[in-house]
Structure 1
């Protein structure tokens, strides 16, 4: 196990800066997930930790040692790639033990560690098979076994589940989490899949356009998104947004002439300011048309999800989704109304995208990441 510190790390390709002064601290034994859309810099950051990308500026410290100038093999990290990176002409045992062979580990010790690792990843009966004879999930287990056998200080996962089908992804998520519990090693896992992030992470790091948007536990990030981007990126179906302004008295949010009650303490501080109000689909309530204080809407279409349904409504041209547990609520073309419980509304400044109840004293990300 090892602590990882990332201090003002930047990466640029010529004039194109792709990672902007990132500060993060990962505790020993933590499972950290770096989440973000394609091109946000998450894989670049992981590769800089591994030593596969040079750092333009800043420092990366692993287990108390600055590793900027160290070769990948000297950093105590083991990496699991999206494409498995297995040797097709070698069997499972040879693939898992190859790094030990290169390091000059005696044959008897190699065999012992191969057998132990195969047991951990459930491949005891497949050691003589070639990669072509394995399923996608089994190949991914070989890749993880090859990392485990090195007994690293840090595990690095670069979107390892992206090539698997939906059922296998769920299975491998459970296996990776069990493996982490067993090994207690510091792990950094990169993904664009918010379900993977929410289910795996002890600490969640959300990146966007080369910046760290928020750091926290999955529930902290889900329940209190620091920016509008985080609110929109975490959660499925995605958070709804209505754009408007605070009333002059600060007690209401005005959307297209419709008043919506909000936290007056926030509203009075930002009276007249353009604002985006966010509500998650599971927190909005569908009520009969004409309900006092509710927002008039029309059901546009309905998505059946088996365990429930998502009702997509139209509010004066703006789309708004509501998640419900039953299969009878909401019919296409029906006039309805929406209630937005104040305790579940999120308010963001339209110009900066920052959460408004945090704007007055936004905590620096360096502190959030500790």
Structure 2
């Protein structure tokens, strides 16, 4: 296991193109950290810099207290699993797994023992004589993981390793990776653009956007309290609804179409008068009949059938709004409906900066 400290890390390819903008992160020993973000946000670049495959423009990376900026990849104690399995097609599974030990000059008997042990860990004990072409996609990915495990690294680095697998196999491999991490107790850093992978795998989640870290925290914390408008819209499926609004008074919010949201009794908005965006998760909004008390008028646009639930998309004040409905409700495209936004489920974001704004509950007066 190893602790990773990343301090003021920057990556520039030329005078005008900067990929990372002063990243500060710490990954604790034995932690499973997932770096999540859209394509081009810099997450794979960050991973490759930890591995030593990308030069560092500024800042430093330390593994167990040793700055590794100038160390070769083989000297860092890291093993990397790529999106592309990168297996040698003419070699057997056993030879692919044990290749690094062969290059390092490990004696044949010791090498074969470690190959057998590693193959058992990744479930390939019965496939050691096969060539990659005779394996499924999931089995090839296990070979790639076995090749990393056999080196007994302090740090595992995963660069979108499940992207080439079908949906069902990805679910299976997520579970296997998580069990493997628990068994090996190594520090793992996993990069993905898939929020389901991120939420299910991570001990701690790092959300990146345009070369910056937007938020770091446990998956549940980030889902429940997104720090920025970007995180709110990126995490969740469907993502959080965001509606432009204004502060009406100290106890109410008003949406663009005039719909008023009264805050809970005793609450206050602790951020003064400014333009804001109001957010609510689709599963927290309530679909009702048009004109119901406390509801906003909307018109159904289309419906996604998901089996156990449905997502109804409706136009609310000129904005597309999603609401998740679990029970069977008789709504069709074109129907007029009502939407209730419970005040206790609302999130608020500064319309200019995108940062989260807190709705704070005032303390009750203390008795004299």
For the residues of structure 2 that align with 1:63 and 1:138, how far apart are their CA atoms?
33
- Of 265, 269, 272 in structure 2, the residue corresponding to residue 270 of structure 1 is 272
- 1:112 maps to 2:113: yes
For the residues of structure 2 that align with 1:193 and 1:220, how far apart are their CA atoms?
18
For the residues of structure 2 that align with 1:319 and 1:46, how far apart are their CA atoms?
36
For the residues of structure 2 that align with 1:268 and 1:75, how far apart are their CA atoms?
47
Shift of 1:330: 2.5
For the residues of structure 1 that align with 2:270 and 2:139, how far apart are their CA atoms?
58
For the residues of structure 2 that align with 1:358 and 1:90, how far apart are their CA atoms?
61
Q: What does residue 326 of structure 1 align with?
A: 327
- 1:187 maps to 2:194: no
| Greater helix share, structure number | 1
Shift of 1:317: 2.3
Q: What does residue 168 of structure 2 align with?
A: 167
Cα deviation 1:192-213 (Å, max 9, x = unaligned): 0000000000000000000000
Q: Is the 8 A contact 1:247 1:254 kept in 2?
A: no
Q: Using a 3 Å threshold, how does the CA distance of structure 1 residues 60 and 268 change in structure 2: closer, same or farther?
A: closer
RMSD: 1.4
Q: What does residue 348 of structure 1 align with?
A: 349
Q: What does residue 96 of structure 1 align with?
A: 97
Which region of structure 1 is more displaced relative to structure 2, 229-238 or 298-307? Answer: 298-307
Cα deviation 1:149-198 (Å, max 9, x = unaligned): 00000000000000000011001000000101111110000000000000
Q: TM-score, normalised by structure 1?
A: 0.94
For the residues of structure 1 that align with 2:188 and 2:359, how far apart are their CA atoms?
30
SS of residue matched to 1:20: strand
Q: What does residue 210 of structure 2 align with?
A: 209
Q: Using a 3 Å threshold, how does the CA distance of structure 1 residues 168 and 231 change in structure 2: closer, same or farther?
A: same
Which region of structure 1 is more displaced relative to structure 2, 132-141 or 326-335? Answer: 326-335
* Structure 2 residues not aligned, in runs of 5+: 361-368
Q: In the comparison of the two structures, how many residue pairs are matched? A: 358
For the residues of structure 2 that align with 1:274 and 1:58, how far apart are their CA atoms?
37
Q: What does residue 13 of structure 1 align with?
A: 13
SS of residue matched to 1:286: strand
For the residues of structure 2 that align with 1:71 and 1:313, how far apart are their CA atoms?
55
For the residues of structure 1 that align with 2:25 and 2:193, how far apart are their CA atoms?
19
Q: TM-score, normalised by structure 2?
A: 0.95
Q: Is the 8 A contact 2:82 2:159 kept in 1?
A: yes
For the residues of structure 2 that align with 1:164 and 1:244, how far apart are their CA atoms?
42
Cα deviation 1:18-49 (Å, max 9, x = unaligned): 00000000110000000000000000000000
Q: Is the 8 A contact 1:250 1:269 kept in 2?
A: no
Q: What does residue 296 of structure 2 align with?
A: 295
Q: What does residue 366 of structure 1 align with?
A: none
For the residues of structure 2 that align with 1:81 and 1:287, how far apart are their CA atoms?
48
